[in-house]
Amino acid sequence: MLNKLKHIIEKQAFGVCDYIGEKIGVASARVRLYFIYLTFAALGSPVLVYLFVAFWLNIKAYIRQTKSFIWND
């Protein structure tokens, strides 16, 4: 039950920490923890980076979806 809730929350939060964790080979929980520490230490500026990466991931997913739609027609 708790794992299912965690998965739903991650999907709603764009999956940025999960994506970064996969790319650098670190657990997403560790990335999330460091992101929280950095946000407090840098007075919120990493939130802008987070939002930029979230936007980039959504655009990337949209482009992939559009490509597959075009190639399947």
Rounded to whole angstroms, the Cα distance separating 52 from 64 reads: 18
User: pLDDT tens for residues 31-68?
Assistant: 888 888 998 899 888 888 888 888 888 888 888 887 77
Count of Cβ atoms closer than 10 Å to residue 12 Cβ: 8
Give me the pLDDT at residue 3, please: 78
Give me the pLDDT at residue 70, please: 67
User: Which whole number is the average pLDDT over 24-28?
Assistant: 90
Give me the pLDDT at residue 72, please: 62
Question: How many separate domains does the chain show?
Answer: 1
Rounded to whole angstroms, the Cα distance separating 40 from 45 reads: 9
Through-space distance between the first and last CA atoms of the chain, rounded to whole angstroms: 40
Q: Which domain holds residue 44?
A: 2-72
| 31 vs 11, more confident | 31
